[in-house]
């Protein structure tokens, strides 16, 4: 016969099991789901990167076809240049869709990791994918949010914060160049190019002070590209290829660059520092 104490313990077991399921157990399930979905997001990102490489190669082919048509004046070369441009547009559209899919996958992972140390790293990956998809200014908002959190928590010089600044600089350059090629007002695209200049100058000076000479040179080169954007004539600019990770245009749903979003939201815990390998990026492009 079970004693009253044993019966009491037996009766408590379902309560303890339910408490675990809806507490630590639920968090464990979320972590497992996040790990599985992170693999899916990374696979989607690789597909997008391959599509981006193909689109960039097509852009270079278009520029060369235009050069040949300009030099020859031959109608056949002109048709080939137009065909190359159409092919390029198709490939960039494919790449844009692939990057958007990757961003959506990262969004799901981010929601599962809300409040964890990894949330900001996933948010960085999502923002990066958004920019490459053509949602440039939506991605910029996310990246600025990461920088805001880092500065709030006195981690403005962390690896994640610097990675976010590098992506911010590139994103503002992409935005400025695309806006200029669209024929938008100078004050609009110059606002973006000015921020890109500030970010690259800050990053180059930081790299130089840290004795990272090669990185400082790369960042200085990117700064010079921003200056070229501001100084070249529009026809000269169109003849120069976009950076390899830049979208060809802005995607529907991207916010207007003239709008001023609020400051980035805070996250409860501090982010991890590069443990996922997501922070392995170059100096912008």
The residue extents of the domains of the chain are: 17-238
Q: What is the pLDDT of residue 54?
A: 98
Output the CA torsion sign for 267, 268, 271, 275.
negative
- 17-238 CATH pick, 3.30.460, 1.10.3470, 1.25.40, 1.20.1260: 1.25.40
Distances (CA, A) of 164 to 37, 178, 198: 23, 21, 14
| Rama region for 251: left / alpha / beta (φ>0; ψ in -120 to 50; rest) | beta
Q: What is the pLDDT of residue 267?
A: 41
Q: What is the pLDDT of residue 71?
A: 94
Question: Residues of the chain whose pLDDT is less than 70?
Answer: 1-31, 260-285
Q: What is the pLDDT of residue 156?
A: 74
Q: What is the pLDDT of residue 282?
A: 35
pTM: 0.81
C-alpha of 63 from chain center? 26
Q: Give pLDDT tens digits for 245-262.
A: 999 999 999 999 977 654
Q: What is the pLDDT of residue 260?
A: 62
Q: What is the pLDDT of residue 115?
A: 84
Distances (CA, A) of 38 to 44, 49, 96, 238: 10, 16, 20, 37
Tell me the C-alpha distance between 156 and 146, whole Å. Answer: 10
């Amino acid at each position: 016969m079970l004693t009253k104490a044993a019966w009491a313990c037996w009766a408590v077991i379902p309560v303890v099991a339910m408490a675990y399921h809806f507490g630590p157990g639920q968090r464990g399930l979320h972590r497992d789901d996040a790990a599985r979905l992170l693999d899916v997001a990374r696979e989607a990102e690789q597909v997008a990167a391959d599509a981006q490489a193909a689109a960039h190669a097509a852009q270079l082919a278009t520029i060369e076809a235009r050069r040949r048509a300009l030099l020859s004046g031959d109608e056949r070369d002109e048709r080939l240049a137009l065909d190359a441009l159409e092919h390029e547009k198709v490939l960039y559209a494919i790449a844009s869709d692939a990057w958007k899919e990757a961003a959506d996958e990262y969004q799901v992972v981010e929601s599962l990791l809300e409040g964890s140390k990894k949330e900001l790293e996933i948010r960085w990956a999502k923002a990066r994918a958004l920019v490459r998809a053509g949602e440039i200014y939506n991605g910029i908002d996310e990246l600025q949010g990461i920088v805001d959190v880092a500065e709030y928590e006195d981690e403005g010089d962390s690896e994640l914060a610097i990675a976010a600044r590098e992506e911010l600089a590139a994103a503002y350059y992409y935005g400025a160049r695309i806006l200029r090629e669209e024929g938008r007002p100078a004050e609009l695209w110059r606002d973006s190019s000015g921020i890109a200049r500030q970010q690259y100058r800050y990053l180059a000076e930081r790299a130089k002070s840290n004795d990272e000479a090669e990185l400082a040179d790369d960042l200085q080169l990117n700064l010079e590209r921003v200056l070229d954007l501001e100084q070249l004539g529009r026809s000269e600019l169109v003849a120069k290829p976009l950076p390899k990770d830049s979208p060809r245009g802005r995607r529907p749903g991207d916010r207007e660059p003239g709008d001023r979003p609020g400051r980035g939201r805070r996250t409860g815990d501090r982010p991890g520092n590069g443990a996922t390998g997501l922070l392995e990026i170059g100096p912008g492009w």
